[in-house]
Amino acid sequence: MYNFLQKFHSGWAYVALLLLLVAVVNAIIGFTSKKDFTAKDRKIALFALIGTHTQLLIGLILYFVSPLGKAAFGQMSNAELRLTSLEHPLINLIAIVLITIGWSKHKKLINSEAKFKTFAIFYGLGLLLILSRIPWNLWF
């Protein structure tokens, strides 16, 4: 089960990152070009939200069955174990909270420019945090 979850988590990460990147680029383009916020823009952001939340659920399950997760939590002197057992889950959880806040805040806004700005900021910060804590040596 662990090997399947690890492969699925790594594979789904590409999908989630692509969706998040598309949402951030779409928000930046929409904000800078001052276009109207449409249903297509909302769906792009929603798919990014769903993709990252799915990745979070897979990651949480993996965390509790992985030898690099909860079991290695006390070994903070080892940088690789610290990354996979503490930094990666914690920072990515914060990133997904920011993405969720961005989604929630946009629903209260009426102005298209404000909606795009909210997505660009919150989804962009989430993307940066996620990219900063990916264990790149395990991906390649």
The helix (H) or strand (E) run that includes residue 79 is helix 79-82
Q: What is the pLDDT of residues 20-37, one digit of tens each?
A: 999 999 999 999 999 999
Q: What is the pLDDT of residues 86-131, one digit of tens each?
A: 888 899 999 999 999 999 999 999 999 999 999 999 999 999 999 9
pTM: 0.90
Q: Rounded to whole angstroms, how far apart are CA atoms 116 and 128?
A: 17
pLDDT at residue 70 above 70?
no
Q: Rounded to whole angstroms, how far apart are CA atoms 63 and 27?
A: 32
- CB-based burial of residue 136 (10 Å sphere; 0-12 exposed, 13-18 middle, 19+ buried)? exposed
